[in-house]
Amino acid sequence: MAPSVSTGKKVETTITTLLNVRRGTRAIDFYIRAFDATILSRMDAEDGTVVAHLAVGKGDFWVADESLPHKNFSPESLGGTSMRMVLIVNDPHAVFDQAVAAGASSICPVRDESYGWRIGRIVDPFGHHWEIGKKLEEG
């Protein structure tokens, strides 16, 4: 193992996700309408592809056009998705309804689950599944 080299800077560890989509520009517009996302950064290429860093509340995620040569496939290319996004909000019903009004499809309506969450699931127009909910109060 190579020795560790320190630059003297403290690096904060975080984790986020990058959603591969077809029609990246449309996806960005959808996330703005569905979740009130804001664009933190955006890079548009001459060929029309895009990579953007978005924020929703205190969370962030990336959106990029799929790249078949790099094996970055969208759910549309895969015929499904291997992950779900979990969006924790104060009013799951309102955000769920806003996402559906923006073009998402309901998979499971928002409801109180026996494991202590009020949660529902949508699939966005690009094939990504989103669980929208919040933990219920104890007691």
Q: What average pLDDT score do residues 27-56 get?
A: 98
* Structural domain boundaries in the chain: 18-135
Q: Which segment of 42-46, 81-85, 89-93 scores lowest on mean pLDDT? A: 81-85
Of 3.10.180.10, 3.30.465.10, 3.40.50.300, 1.10.287.70, the CATH number of 18-135 is 3.10.180.10
Instruction: Pick the closest to residue 121 from 133, 107, 102 (CA basis).
Output: 107
pLDDT band at 18, cuts 50/70/90?
A: very high
Q: What is the pLDDT of residue 14?
A: 86
3-state SS, residue 119: strand
pLDDT band at 105, cuts 50/70/90?
A: very high
Task: Report how far residue 60's alpha carbon sits from residue 25's, in angstroms, rounded to the nearest whole number.
Answer: 17
Question: Dihedral sign, CA of 67, 20, 78, 82?
Answer: positive
